[in-house]
Structure 1
Amino acid sequence: MWRALDDGSDPIASVPWEGPAMSCGLVDTITEFDAGFFRVSPGEAQRMDPRQRLLLEVTWEALEHAGISAQSLEEERVGVYVGASGNGYAAHLYRSDVEADGYDVTGSLASVIAGRVSYFLGLRGPAMTIDTACSSSLVAVHVAMKALRARECAVALAGGVAAVPRMSRETESWLALSHFSKHGRCRPFDASADGIVSSDGCGMVVLKRLSTAKQDGDRILAVIRGSAINHDGRTQGLTVPSGLAQEDLIRRALEEARVRPKEVGYVECHGTGTVLGDPIEVQALGSVLSEGREADRPVIVGSVKSNLGHTDAAAGVAGLIKVVLSLQHGRIPKNLHFEAPNPHIAWDELPVKVASEAVPWVRNGVARIAGVSSFGISGTNAHVVVEEAPAAAETALSAAKRSCELLVLSAKSG
């Protein structure tokens, strides 16, 4: 993912459907699945929601990246918290022209998306699928953190998954929504912003209490200092965001994190590139983060949606992963498709600057801190505060960089 962000590559393409054409970001291999590896019969695999398949694969990759053996987690109190929105695959399975199958229920239930991971890995901790629409995965991270602090689990797997509808009838309904871009690109903060493009997406992170991670000798990539969730309440419309609610959200997350507003150097915004949403979000950010901030040190903002499109329930964790990668590499990637600032945003009055080019993320003698926002069409909002990894962990990461690497391949069978 970092290579795509750093290079500024654009994976969005115009895809011909039955009738209409739409710009979106698709995982070409979404129908491919190593059923045998995950101990799923071919018949059952065919009836599984693609999100279940994607999540199993990405969760396995997350554990490998964390250096954790899946076998070591069996029968342990490991929690699984997954953001997933909607249930379009059920409509596909229950069409009149599709013959019913015994696996249809487990293949389409949203609750099984998280349950499937716990079942495959043999985990004994909480397992839940969370649906707050676009904010689902960041809400899942928030809930996972609370569970870790309450010692409901020792390890938490948190994230989200989304798949663009592939069935023509559902796609037509999808395209009819007014918040989709006519230009075919998500342009956060830009004057020409006219909505989102939809994309497949899946992301999972492995979470532990910091003290436990240090004790276990884990490779620590970043520290989540605090988080908060809330709801917009009654606004001018169900899907209309509330600037006051967003301000309250960010303040509460900072208070829990024990971070002063001026210490935040970057915010990964929800940044959908909508005429209504962007000005409200930037104004709320500026109002909160201006406190104590020097005029020559504006907070940098960006949105991964300018790169990947809107990955729906996986959008929040995509932003979180982008922030962690940016901290590791010491660079904030360019926010794509930003050419002329949105005239409805008071740029001259707010201490906010868009990453119109890649920005070096320097320490200036203090730890680098970022915020990540994710707002749901349901009205549920989430914000997390992220700090770079402790110095000792970073030193270990630097020492691990070598001129040569051993490439290890593994498989369950020959």
Structure 2
Amino acid sequence: MAPKSGAQRSSDIAVVGMSCRLPGAPGIDEFWHLLTTGGSAIERRADGTWRGSLEGAADFDAAFFDMTPRQAAAADPQQRLMLELGWTALENAGIVPGGLAGTDTGVFVGIAADDYAALLHRSATPVSGHTATGLSRGMAANRLSYLLGLRGPSLAVDSAQSSSLVAVHLACESLRRGESDLAIVGGVSLILAEDSTAGMELMGALSPDGRCHTFDARANGYVRGEGGACVVLKPLERALADGDRVHCVVRGSAVNNDGGGSTLTTPHREAQAAVLRAAYERAGVGPDQVSYVELHGTGTPVGDPVEAAALGAVLGTAQGRNAPLSVGSVKTNVGHLEAAAGLVGFVKAALCVREGVVPPSLNHATPNPAIPMDRLNLRVPTRLEPWPHPDERATGRLRLAGVSSFGMGGTNAHVVVEEAPASEAPVAGELVEPGAVALPPVVPVVVSGRSAGAVAELAGRVRESAGSGGLVDVGLSSVVSRSVFEHRSVVLAGDSAELSAGLDAVAGGVPLPGVVSGVASVGGGRSVFVFPGAGAKWAGMALGLWAESAVFAESMARCEAAFEGLVEWRLADVLGDGAALEREDVVQPASFAVMVSLAALWRSLGVVPDAVVGHS
């Protein structure tokens, strides 16, 4: 009997952060919207070619990443894109990038194109001291490691189109060996030299009608796309213990090579079947339990039938399967991102198992006659569908998907992705459950950047995404999950409408009550706790916090234990009694207990004083 999914193992790896910049989708939320609405970002360009183009690919804030204008100009835009993706993915994971210095965090980047080097060598641009590092593909990983002060492995992976999914495999193995304690995995691909497209066209790989018809009778090649994606990986046991939000779990993966097909670029069915079998064996789950596979799915007349035959042999017709295997390809939405394609498919699969739905695969009407879908027990969803097996939770199974990526030189990769397990631990960044305790009447939300313009731009982005979380969560994540820079605006909001209005004011540079903006000193500031004496009290002080904060309550209980036998009253009684607080023998110890407990609460949140002052 095949083992069930959902059985947690020490080798399981959690995906705790994600980011992307893709055609028609500048972020994860936009990407998911594009997928679920069946959107296509493929457009015909003025030169007649079809492409999934990345808007603003040349835009880059060099100063933010501690690069001079000359360094930035010499650096391949793929390096710059990787810096942006890595930073955003860490913040999505609730990790302040600057706090990773000195850690064994690894960086693994799938990258293959060298268009920028080709352009630079053909131009009259003089070689400089920044040229060597600017054009080296290895620097796509190394720059991020240098920026953040990381000590783990840092390497670029080039196995052609399978590069970024191979990078996921290598990162997971590094985490399992203990070589890395956290891993940042990226994939980037930008089309900067038009002759690179001409080369793929001469190979016969590109679709003349500008559509990728995966597994369809019209399959005639793919459309190129550009952009990138990034994920943050961490051992599942540690992620759950730390209260991280887990998007999905990597159960296992495998990589192999065709080992000599009929030609260098012709795929080999048995080699693809072998990588599938190895991946599910390492994942510890039966191949009949996978419900969806994100295909390599390039829509080529040769590649599609080979991939389908391997999938059908290992997964579609696996013993115990009681429904056809659903398959699809994100290349129909955004194009083939080549070295970054595998990671884009991985992010799509992660979102599918997290949300429990399967987006449509576009451009599919009539199955390829060379692919016997019924016999292979495969199907291509052409509309948004609920997860193929909605009863999985009731049977103890978690949603399970596979991701395939194959390089044109025969390097094959497959990763097994599972829904995150249910966790009773609070997710980092969630202070309270709605309705469980009284929320603060006003929440400060901090927006910061290295320039006033950066603050305004970020305020606009926060405004767009603020509706997806509670007001307290937005306020907490603004200071806990993001780096705080010297240019700052603080929006004081009592509800979502006030927050939206305040963020709009910051984005537009318009003064508004409840919004404070300025420039703070960074790095040299110190904190001082002031402990007031008699006079700084009121009836009912601290009772709400005592009920809401476990840290505060524990400290107050310790104070009560210390007072026992010395006083004839209890703190919980006198704090609500205005007359009692007028007695000197009550107010002094009561104020002491409240102040000490407040200090304990601040320290638990990371605010440790450099000095303390007080009186009485």
Describe the shift of the 1:234–1:348 C-alpha distance in structure 2 as closer, same or farther (beyond 3 A).
same
Task: Confirm whether residue 391 of structure 1 aligns to residue 419 of structure 2.
Answer: no
How far 1:326 sits from its partner (Å)? 1.0
Label 1:300 to 1:412 Cα distance change in 2 as closer, same or farther (>3 A): same
The answer to whether the 8 Å contact 2:250/2:416 transfers is yes
Higher Cα radius of gyration: 2
Deviations 1:26-78 (A, max 9, x none): 11200100111001101111111110111110111100110011122111100
- Trace 1:229-378 onto structure 2 (pairs within 5 A): 229-289=255-315, 290-295=317-322, 297-361=323-387, 362-364=390-392, 365=394, 366-378=397-409
AA in 1 matched with 2:32: W
In structure 2, the partner of 1:26 is 53
Corresponding residue for 2:46? 16
Say whether the 8 Å CA contact 2:292–2:327 is kept in structure 1: yes
Residue of structure 2 equivalent to 1:139: 166
What CA deviation, in whole Å up to 9, does each residue of 1:325-381 have, x standing for no partner?
Answer: 111211100001111111110112111111122220124332111110000012100
Name the SS of the counterpart of 1:213 in structure 2. Answer: helix
CA distance in 2 between counterparts of 1:49 and 1:194 reads 32
The 5 Å alignment of 1:28-177 reads 28-164=55-191, 166-177=192-203
Counting aligned pairs with the same residue, the percent is 43
Secondary structure class of the residue paired with 1:374: strand
The residue type paired with residue 377 of structure 1 is M
Contact 2:213–2:220 (CA<8 Å) still a contact in 1? yes
Contact 2:356–2:399, Cα closer than 8 Å, also in 1? no
The letter for the 2-side match of 1:200 is E
Mapped contact 2:113–2:189 kept (Cα < 8 A)? no
**Between 117-126 and 386-395, the greater mean CA deviation after superposition:** 386-395
In the TM superposition, residue 13 of structure 1 has moved relative to its aligned partner by 0.7
Q: How many residues were matched structurally? A: 409
What is the RMSD of the two structures over their aligned residues, measured on CA atoms?
A: 2.0
1:168 positional shift: 4.0
Distance 1:240 1:392, change over 3 A: same
Question: Is this contact kept in 1: 2:265–2:410, CA < 8 A?
Answer: yes
Partner residue, 1:189: 215
Tell me by how many angstroms 1:411 deviates: 6.9
Structure 2: gaps (5+ residues):
1-30, 435-467, 488-616
Give the distance between the partners of 2:375 and 2:303, measured in 1 at CA: 18
Whether the 8 Å CA contact 2:243–2:427 is kept in 1: the answer is no
Alpha-carbon spacing, 1:71–1:252, altered in 2? closer, same or farther (3 Å): same
> Structure 2 counterpart of 1:332, which letter?
V
Matched letter for residue 136 of structure 1 = S
Report the CA distance shift for 1:169/1:235 in structure 2 as closer, same or farther (over 3 A).
closer
1:138 and 1:159 in contact (8 A); partners too: no
Instruction: Report if the CA contact (8 A) 1:37-1:412 is conserved.
Output: no
Question: Structure 1 residue aligned with 2:224, among 185, 198, 204?
Answer: 198
The CA deviation at 1:293 is: 3.2
> Is contact 2:85-2:186 (8 Å) kept?
no
Query: Residue type of the partner of 2:285?
Result: V
Conserved 8 A contact 2:216-2:366: yes
Judged with a 3 Å threshold, the aligned counterparts in structure 2 of structure 1 residues 70 and 23 are, in CA distance, closer, same or farther, namely same
How far is 1:111 from its partner?
Answer: 0.9
Distance 1:136 1:27 in 2: 20
Given the superposition, is the C-alpha separation of residues 261 and 403 from structure 1 closer, same or farther in structure 2, using an over 3 Å criterion? same
Query: Structure 2 vs 1, CA of residues 174 and 250 (structure 1 numbering), >3 Å: closer, same or farther?
Result: closer
How many Å separate the matches in 2 of 1:263 and 1:278? 23
Q: 2:82–2:186: 8 Å Cα contact kept in structure 1?
A: no
Once residues 204 and 64 of structure 1 are traced to their aligned partners in structure 2, the CA distance between those partners, rounded to angstroms, is 12
1:231–1:263 distance in 2 versus 1, CA, 3 Å = same
Alpha-carbon distance between aligned partners in 2 of 1:254 and 1:333, rounded to the nearest angstrom: 24
Q: 1:307 and 1:373 mapped to 2: Cα distance?
A: 17
User: Structure 1 residues 172 and 346, CA, compared in 2 at 3 Å: closer, same or farther?
Assistant: closer
SS of structure 2 residue aligned to 1:8: coil
Could you say if the C-alpha distance between residues 152 and 382 of structure 1 is closer, same or farther in structure 2, counting changes exceeding 3 Å?
A: same
Letter in 1 for 2:333: N
In the alignment, the residues of structure 2 paired with residue 395 and residue 270 of structure 1 have an alpha-carbon distance, to the nearest angstrom, of 37
Which amino acid is 2:101 matched to?
E
> Structure 1, unaligned stretches of length 5 or more?
none
TM-score, normalised relative to structure 2: 0.64
**Residue 174 of structure 1: how far off its partner (Å):** 4.1
Letter in 2 for 1:156: A
The higher-RCO structure (CA 8 Å, 6+ apart) is: 1
Question: Which string of whole-angstrom CA distances, capped at 9 and with x for unpartnered residues, describes residues 199-241 of structure 1?
Answer: 1121111001111111222111111000000001111110000
Shift of 1:185: 1.2
Q: Secondary structure at the match of 1:224?
A: strand
What is residue 6 of structure 1 aligned with on the other side?
A: 36
Paired residues of 1:93 and 1:104 also in contact (CA < 8 A)? no
Q: 2-side partners of 1:406 and 1:291: how far apart?
A: 46
The DSSP-based 3-state class of the residue aligned with 1:205 is strand
Q: What is the rounded CA distance, in whole Å, between the counterparts of 2:118 and 2:102 in structure 1?
A: 34
CA distance in 1, matches of 2:375, 2:63: 58
What secondary structure is seen at the aligned counterpart in 1 of 2:281?
Answer: helix
- Tell me, yes or no, if the aligned pair for 1:219 and 1:393 is still in contact at 8 Å: no
- Structure 1 238/294 Cα, relative in aligned 2: closer, same or farther at 3 Å? same
CA distance in 1, matches of 2:247, 2:418: 10
Q: Distance in 1 between matches of 2:391 and 2:74?
A: 50
Distance 1:16 1:128 in 2: 37
Secondary structure of the corresponding residue to residue 62 of structure 2? coil
- The equivalent residue for 1:379 is 410
For residues 168 and 247 of structure 1, what CA distance do their matches in structure 2 show? 35
